Structure 1
Amino acid sequence: MKPIKLVMSAFGPFRGVVEVPFSELGSSGLFLINGDTGAGKTTIFDAISFALYGNASGENRTTDSFRSDYADEDEQTYVELTFLHRKKEYIVWRNPNYRRSKKRGSGTTEEKPNAILTMPDGSVIAGYAPVTEAVTDLLGIDWRQYKQISMIAQGEFLELLTADSNARGLIFRKVFGTQIYDSIQKKLKELSNKLKYQCEDIDKRILQFLDGISCSEGNVSKAAIDEWKKVKDINQAEKMMELLSVLLEEDRAKYHTKKKENEHLNIEMAKKAAEYTKAEQVNRLLANLKQAEEDYQKLTLTAEEMKREEERYALTEKALHIVKPAEDAYLRIKKEAANLAADIGKGKEEKVRLEEQLKLLLEEYRQKEAAQPRVSELTAQISRQRAELIKYDGVAEQEKQKAILEEKKQKLEKQIACLTGRKADLTKEQTEKQAEQDQYVNLDKDMVLCENQLYQTENTIKQLNKLLTDIRNLNTESDVLFRVQQDYQNAEAEYRYQNQEYLEMEARFFREQAGIMASNLEAGKPCPVCGSTEHPSKAAITGGAPSEEELKHAKTKLDKAHKAMAAAGAKSENQRTKVGMLADALQENAAVLLEVDVSVPTSDV
């Protein structure tokens, strides 16, 4: 990256617009920026670093301090850098966060940080963070690496010198674009380790298999195999493989011999098995013959007894055909006689019951015959009473209807009288209302006006309540802003203290280092710093200087204090933005509310 032109407006100690034309200072790329303390030398480096990355060139300066103290309230603060990178021109414009005069009205407002990057093809990237990210991708290094290798700020050169090899390697790889070779080296190392592990695994398996080789005691290779098993050297695996091939050939020849012997034995076994099967069949036939002879002897002994049983069976069957029909007929007649006797007994009992029932019915009939005249008389009397009752019911119903009608008549008369009085009252009320209506002709119009005014008043009250709530919120957030600003001031004071401590320790450390180097200078030999062979005024060892470890510890404390200050500053800035937005919104709402017409109509009501 080569700077071509730098434009600063109300930046640092510079008031107004200041332009630094680097292209007019020569093409050699080496020039000196000279000036008194506070003249703005470091500001030029801060401007370049801020334009590219949004940060100062050193860690002891913050972006909220970039606006010039000599700038007018309406003057704009920004930095514009034109630079070449790989023979292509880029323009980056960036402004910090600062307060300026309002364009409308009085007071000040906050100008938000912003950035614009113009590419060689004319395309534009806008936004504070997007521009920083684009510049980092373009240059290949971030802000911390940039200020270590391209723009080393005062007091920070030691960081690059004392950085460990990993940090320096990362920086140099990004600068010279050798990350791909580092990636290839890592990939090759991973592949090498993987193949190494695979080879070790294969060696273990080979040793395991070779350890399982066995042979007979009389084999000529027995001694060599036993000797190898004692050491288990993988480098002698080929020799063992040759011995294993010999053993396999010997085992293969023995296998063929044993295979032929086995085939011969299988044929003999098949023959013996056939003979054994035939012998078993003969033995079974002999056993069956012996059993048949024993059964024949038993049957011969029982033949006469069976003959006598057959004769007795023939006689029994003959008797069965003659006696059985007669026995069945006798049993059937006996069963029918028993059933008939039972039916006769039941008939006699039924006859007795019917005779008694007949006597009761005859007695009842005689009694009814004697009471027949009285029944006829009572029947006629009942008919007469029913006819009289029907007439009486009709008269009673008419009396009830009459009473109901009389009651309705009385109610109607009362209603007529009440309605007549109500009519008079309504007539009188109508007259009075008409008089009132004539009196208040404009009442509807005034009511509409009052309702509109009431609605406006209620709306105004709601807006005032909302305004009061916004004021309370603004007061609460303002209190929070006051606290976070106090925290920022404390963090800034701590940072300034740690920075002063570190700078003093660093100065004592370098003076001590210069004294140590000067003590080793010899007359006539060049100085490793300036190259001079004459040393008229050597630096002395001061004593009491901090060690490198103490200096690093102080640097750690300084970084911690800077981070705390940056975090407190960001928190304070966010809270200040929030309070500003609440105040602007409150002011706009108040302005709108003050424009509302809250006058009361003076019409007579």
Structure 2
Amino acid sequence: MRPLKLAFQGLHSFRDPVEIDFVRLTESGFFGIFGPTGAGKSTILDAITFALFGRVDRTSALADSLTTGTDALWARFAFRLGDDVYEVYRRVERRGGGLVSADFYLSRNGDRFPLEGVVRLNRAVEELLGLSFEQFITAVFLPQGKFARFLKLRPAERRTLLAEIFRLERFGEPLYQSVRGKVQELTASEESLSRELAALEEVSREALEAARAELRALEERIHSLREEIGRLEERRRAADEFLKLFAEKENLASRFARLLGRPWSEDTRSEIEERLRLCERARELLGAQEERERVARELEEAREELAAATEELGELRRKKTVFEGEARKKLDALGSRERALREVKGRFAGLDAERVGELEERVRKLAAELEGMPRGEPPPFPAEILPEVEGILREATALVPRLEEFSKQVAELEREIAAAREGLSQLGRELEEREREHRELERAVSKREEEFERLRRELAAAELARDLSEGMPCPVCGSTHHPAPAAFPEEVDLRALETELGELRKKLREAREFISAKRSERTLAERTLAERERKLAELREQRASSEEGLSGLRARLPEGIRFIPWEELGERIRVWRAYLERERVAREREELRTELGRLERIWREIVEGLGEIYRPLTQEALKEWEAKVEGELRRIEEERGRVERNLEGFRERERALERRVSEVSGRVGELERNLEAAERKVELLSREIGIPPEGAAALALTTSQRELLEEALELSREIAAKSEAMASLGIADAGDAEEIRETYA
């Protein structure tokens, strides 16, 4: 057997359908099923055994194998056996607290076997495989849990486990004891034959041959007698079987006679079968007659219902025609009234109550505003250029402070520059005086230094000359003749002279430092003065630019007001603006009065057109009339809706009646066809049976009568079967059987 495809659902943890294609899995050779514990590997094998044998080895009851929460289990398994492809299918369901077989089949190459029950299916599968369920799970599937145990056992334990798995226990100790007994029996037989052989060693060959011939003749005689005994035993057993069948037949015949009150015979059996056949056909004819009568009654009722529905539909259509005419007139009148009112409402659109009130309030406010406004005077130029003049004034007003600020800064810088120039001049004079004093100090220091050097040399020479005598070489000139030796100057204080020279030198340094500081100060003052002069030039340029801008702004003014100073021009603009604002308010008031007059004319036309008494246009009157018109329009809309709903009600009832007439008409046609078919069936059955329909009741049996005949027919069949079995035994009657039995007892 080679598996091809497996599909199942509802087994163990597989709640959803599962399908496995073994053909695809075996394309490359062998395959394995891998997964963690509890993944469902063994369930695949359980599905195969369930499909083949309707059993699962791992559970004691099949109901325990169903997935929790499910009520059905099915499996379909296709496999190849030889050149044929087989498919087996089973389905079981929970019913009444247990499992019942809901469906099953077994097919070969697409053709299903004719099976009458699950037992026949199990038997057919076992015949195909040549294995029972126990043999299949032993020879094909190694039970789960025993293989891991098998790998860890010692050799002796492994042999024991294999014997348990393959059920070899019966070949263990019992086989050993049986073989041992047989060996002992053969050994004893061998010893007996040896003793007999030893006793026959002295017999001659001719005697031995004669004994053997006699032995063969005896054996043949014994064989012949045994065959005769067998035939006689078979004859006796046939006689016993015949007598048993005869007794059973007599018992059945007695029961038959009690049921029908007459003895059994072949003709009686045929008569019963014919009577039952006629009864069944008569019952069919009666059923057909009842069906015809039922269809006839339903047809009559449907025709009456169709007539009533048709009459009701006609009456409704007459009423609908009358109502449609009245409704059309009513709707036309409502439409005319609605159009008139909507025209009035359209005219009311320009007479908004709030707007009228706002216009009246605005006119009053403008009048009060005019009373309190100054009159002003008209501008000497077109009013539309007043905003431009105001813009020019705003630009000029922005430039004038800048120009004044520039002028103020220029004047201040000019004063600062003048002061700086004066300070620089004073600093120059002071520096010049200090430089003059510095030159005098330099001359005094130079003179004192020369005098100090001279006196120092004179003192040094006098000091040398004081120790010099005639003939000694002069340390200065080297001469040994000293006609006029140097003498010490009189009243010379060289130390005081050196102190005075130091004081002069100190004053000279102080003068130099002062001059340097003053020169730096002058340089800084000159730079500051240059920066201020540069800034002054920039300010003068900015002031000139501002003056030029003001001149340009004044040139843009209308010619009649160019002479007016900027500060006075602002006041004049306010006077002109007050005059223009008063004119604008006056114009607005007149425009509002004109609009109110127009609305008043519209109001008069509306009121007079409706035939009402005229009242002046006010916000209250306008609101009152708007409410009246809206109420009338709502009433018209409601009345139109009511008419249309009534009309739609007629139409809906008409459609419902039309559907009802159509349905009943279709049912009448169907019933007429059914009645015709029922009549044909009654006629056909009447011809087949050969009796008129009214005679069917006489041939139809009651339930008890039919059950009695059926039981008698079953007894008749059993009696016939017993007779056939007795005839097959080759014994004429019970007397022959008794004679044979007594003869071979």
Q: What TM-score do you get using the length of structure 1 for normalisation?
A: 0.26
Q: What TM-score do you get using the length of structure 2 for normalisation?
A: 0.22
Larger radius of gyration: 2
